Amino acid sequence: MTNISIFGTSSDVGKSTITFVIAKIIQDLGYSVAPFKAQNVSNNAHVCDDGSEIGIAQYFQAQVLKIKTSYHLNPILLKSGKNSMASLILEGKAIHNIDVRSYYKNLDNLKPIVDKAYEYLNSKYDCLVCEGAGSPVELNLMTKDLSNIYIASKYNTKIILVANIQKGGVFASIYGVYNLLPKKLQKKYNRCDNK
């Protein structure tokens, strides 16, 4: 079964909810499934079964699916602080406070952490439902985006785009996200086969 990426037209459009709903449907069809979010920015976190810490959304998604929780579900967590600083939590453990510029400068060093967690879960489950972060087409962040573009490109996931009509401009948002995506990823929307 092909893994799935849940993209959004922006933050707060329902990606977390759609992630666990789709994961639960897949589970109810008889497949083993886990949620995954490569990098999360959230001050709301929860302690896992293995003693590590992950974002509350991934913890809740795992609870819905009744699977064990571990840092693999959310290997990078940033808790925002004052003056562009954040607490960096890698593989469920608080490392240190870091400013945003330093975080992005060291992004290539974080990719192996994401890959290790993703590949571990991928070896244990039939399907991963990978929640994106914000919008995948923030042009200043696309090359620094671990949760959307990186996962979908490297692991060839199918893409579902989530939008919220209550925010207004939903059709323009959908059109804009689709047309600003790299061409390779645009094709992920068009194919509906089971390959």
Q: For residue 105, what pLDDT is reported?
A: 87
Asked if residue 52 belongs to a domain, the reply is: yes
pLDDT surpasses 50 at 124: yes
Q: What is the average per-residue pLDDT within 170-183?
A: 91
The verdict on residue 195 lying in a domain is: no
Which residue from 17, 115, 5, 6 is spatially nearest to 57, judged by alpha carbons? 17
pLDDT band (50, 70, 90) for residue 191: very low
Q: What is the pLDDT of residues 17-73, one digit of tens each?
A: 999 999 999 999 999 999 999 999 999 999 999 999 999 999 999 999 999 999 999
54 within a domain of the structure (yes/no): yes
Mean pLDDT of all residues in the chain?
91
What is the average pLDDT across 120-133? 97
Q: Which domain holds residue 35?
A: 4-187
For residue 194, being part of any structural domain is answered with no
Query: Does 126 map to a domain?
Result: yes
CA atoms within 13 A on the CB side of 29: 11
Q: Long-range CB contacts (< 8 A, 24+ apart) of 63-69?
A: 64/20, 64/23, 64/24, 65/20, 65/23, 65/24, 65/27, 65/33, 65/34, 65/35, 67/34
Highest mean pLDDT among 41-50, 73-82, 116-125, 144-153 belongs to 116-125
Q: Which stretch, 97-101, 117-121, 191-195, has highest mean pLDDT?
A: 117-121
Domain assignment present for 193? no
- Rounded distance between C-alpha atoms, residue 171 and residue 177, angstroms: 10
CATH code of the domain in which 129 resides: 3.40.50.300
Residue 37 located in a structural domain: yes
pLDDT score recorded for residue 189: 64
Asked, for residue 49, whether it belongs to a domain, the answer is: yes
Residue-level pLDDT at 35:
98
| Cα angle for residues 89, 157, 91 (degrees, 5° grid) | 15
Radius of gyration of the chain (CA): 16
Rounded to an integer, what distance in angstroms lies between the CA atom of residue 54 and that of residue 188?
Answer: 28
Name the domain count of the chain.
1
